[in-house]
């Protein structure tokens, strides 16, 4: 369970608590989020999230805030954490079209990846998105995620089926792109 804030230049991430769920559920009625996400609306989301919170205490779930006005603009998590195999799955949602395309999602992802690879010592982070979510795929590729596969005809919209795109990043790729100075500081502190 997330227990520390992660702070960037444009956004900061605070641990999400169960009492935040009703507030976050209100955003799930956004048609954009329904189209690109996996949830169907606030009532279903709220019920599913309460159950998920109770059953998945090990998830690292954060609420995303804009630094300039302290408004909630999304949520992000590393879920399905497998400590033994050092793996987890990334999920991110940015609320409101006024918050998209400004780099908030990218920075939030970079903050949680740093936390996942350094603090949690995970080896692999994967994610899934829909083939029509071109903007997200572009951001994920820019960050360094690699395409590893697709689940065919995984979603129906209207009369058409769409594939789910599966991507991942391993720790060596992360450290090659973003360095490991924090990890070296951590190792030095713990070795003393």
Q: Over the chain (192 residues), what is each successive 10-residue block's mean pLDDT?
A: 86 87 67 56 62 75 95 93 97 90 96 96 97 95 98 91 97 94 49 42
The confidence score (pLDDT) of residue 47 equals 74
User: Given CA atoms 12, 98, 46, 82 in this order, what sign does their dihedral have?
Assistant: negative
* pLDDT for 177: 96
Number of CB atoms found within 10 A of residue 14's CB = 16
| Helical spans, DSSP H, in 5-73 | 21-25, 31-36, 42-55
**Residue 51 pLDDT:** 75
Interstrand relation of 72-82 and 146-157 (parallel, antiparallel or unpaired): unpaired
Match 């987890």 to its residue by tokens: 88
Question: CATH 3.40.630.30: does it fit domain 6-191?
Answer: yes
* Predicted pLDDT at 114: 97
> Measured between alpha carbons, how far is 84 from 58 in angstroms, rounded to an integer?
13
Q: Which residues have CB under 8 Å from 175's CB, separation 6+?
A: 117, 183
pLDDT at 189: 42
Distance CA 126, CA 78 (A): 9
Q: Cβ distance 111 to 8 under 8 Å?
A: yes
**Which residues on neighbouring strands pair with residue 146, listed in sequence order?**
168
Extents of the domains making up the chain: 6-191
φ/ψ of residue 129, rounded to 5:
-150, 170
């Amino acid at each position: 369970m997330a227990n520390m804030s992660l702070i960037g230049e444009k956004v900061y991430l605070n641990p999400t608590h169960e009492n935040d769920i009703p507030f976050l559920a209100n955003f799930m009625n956004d048609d954009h989020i329904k189209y690109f996400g996996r949830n169907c609306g606030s009532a279903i989301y709220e019920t599913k999230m309460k159950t998920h919170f109770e059953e998945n205490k090990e998830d690292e779930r954060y609420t995303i805030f804009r630094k300039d006005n302290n408004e909630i603009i999304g949520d992000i998590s590393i879920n399905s954490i497998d400590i033994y195999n050092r793996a987890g799955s990334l999920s991110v949602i940015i609320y409101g079209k006024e918050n998209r395309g400004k780099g908030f999602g990218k920075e939030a992802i970079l903050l949680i990846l740093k936390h996942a690879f350094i603090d949690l010592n995970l080896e692999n982070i994967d994610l899934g998105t829909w083939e029509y979510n071109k903007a997200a795929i572009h951001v994920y590729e820019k960050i360094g995620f690699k395409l590893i596969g697709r689940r065919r005809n995984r979603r129906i919209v209207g009369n058409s089926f769409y594939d789910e795109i599966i991507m991942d990043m391993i720790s060596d790729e992360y450290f090659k792109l973003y360095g490991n100075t924090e990890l070296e500081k951590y190792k030095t502190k713990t070795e003393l």
